[in-house]
Structure 1
Amino acid sequence: MRQAQDSDLAAIDIIIENARIYLKQQGINQWQLGYPNQETILNDLKQKHGYVLIVDKHVAGYVAVITGEDPVYTKIESGQWLNQSTNYVAIHRFALSHTYRGQKLAQRFVTAILTYFFDKDVVDFRIDTHPENMPMQAVIKGNGFVKRGIVYIDEGHAKHVRWAYQLSLK
């Protein structure tokens, strides 16, 4: 895993688009309204939030990792966070290349994220996903995250329900 670079943009765009198609094929109404798009990814890169998973010198995955308070997680319903800390890492826009599907790389990618930021003294991690995105829920739970409640995200000019998870490593 490494910080994403501008030269990774084409590969990231393909990964996001293929993830969008995969979600649609699974009947999951996530990422179907134009989010995330190239503007979103360019902003991630500009803000130094983008990271890529590299396999055999190819970009195999993409994620946006935001350190510090994330407005998406300010308000939580039907539950609560384990703490009120604003010193956490939020994991967004997690996607893997369809070329590597079925190789358990999603689990490894999340583990790499956790390890990288734990080494930077981060012990609180948050992530969310669509209620019907069972594959992502399996990855999240498989890495020790626990469902904490519901958050809402803006996707295509509307608020959408997402299940919110948290992992505390302290």
Structure 2
Amino acid sequence: MPLVYMRRARVEDASAIVEIIDNARKYLKLQGMSQWQAGYPNQDTIIEDLSLERGYLLLVDGQPAGYSAILTGEDPVYTLITDGQWLNSRTDYASIHRFAILDRYRGQKLAQRFMTGILTTFYEQGYRDFRIDTHPENMPMQAVIIGNGFEKRGVVHINEGDETNGIRWAYQVVL
């Protein structure tokens, strides 16, 4: 069984993270989804994540296999929700963005383990409210989200690159 763990991403991980994101972008395109096809996230996004120390890597036997950015506090993406509502009006939550696994690691349940690691790490830091969103057609990500106890709460609209007012399903879990 491989050694699987999560750690905070570092500047020297930038090229591996860009590879993970680009690989996920290609996968989404092959699935016919518009998610991440408008130039976001990109290298500048990753550099900003790293400078703000909000990037996390999933490693398998020491090799980068997944990436996610975790933002804490009020997230402007989640300020306005339609077709539903958040379970509470708290602003001290953790939001999970840019969640991606390299294709050579897909099908190994690593996304579930990565999500569990994120929830555990931020629970230990005092966060109990977690939010995430994904494209309505991104069934694999929805399975990961729902498989970790999140419930669909409504719709948020994102502006990513050239995509404006993109519809994303919003999920929340309160531990």
Please indicate the TM-score interval, normalised by the length of the shorter structure: over 0.9
Instruction: Identify the residue that residue 136 of structure 2 maps to in structure 1.
Output: 131
Residue deviations 1:123-156 (CA, integer Å, cap 9, x gap): 0000000000000000000000000000011112
Residue deviations 1:41-66 (CA, integer Å, cap 9, x gap): 00000111101011101111000000
* RMSD of aligned alpha carbons: 0.6
**Distance (whole Å) between structure 2 residues aligned to residue 6 and residue 120 of structure 1:** 23
Instruction: Identify the residue that residue 11 of structure 2 maps to in structure 1.
Output: 6
Q: Give the deviation of 1:99 after TM superposition.
A: 1.6
**In the alignment, does 2:30 pair up with 1:21?**
no
TM-score normalised by length of structure 1: 0.98
**Distance (whole Å) between structure 1 residues aligned to residue 16 and residue 165 of structure 2:** 28
**In the alignment, does 2:51 pair up with 1:38?**
no
Q: Percent identity?
A: 63
Instruction: Identify the residue that residue 173 of structure 2 maps to in structure 1.
Output: 167
Letter in 2 for 1:105: L
Q: Secondary structure at the match of 1:121?
A: coil
**Distance (whole Å) between structure 2 residues aligned to residue 67 and residue 42 of structure 1:** 18
**Distance (whole Å) between structure 1 residues aligned to residue 110 and residue 31 of structure 2:** 19
Instruction: Identify the residue that residue 148 of structure 1 maps to in structure 2.
Output: 153
Where does structure 2 lack aligned partners over 5 or more consecutive residues? 1-5
Residue deviations 1:89-132 (CA, integer Å, cap 9, x gap): 00000001112111010000000000001111110000000000
**Distance (whole Å) between structure 1 residues aligned to residue 101 and residue 13 of structure 2:** 14
TM-score normalised by length of structure 2: 0.95
Instruction: Identify the residue that residue 56 of structure 2 maps to in structure 1.
Output: 51
Correspondence 1:33-112 to 2 at 5 A = 33-112=38-117
Where does structure 1 lack aligned partners over 5 or more consecutive residues? none
Letter in 2 for 1:161: I
- How many residue pairs are counted as aligned between the two chains? 169
Q: Give the deviation of 1:159 after TM superposition.
A: 1.8
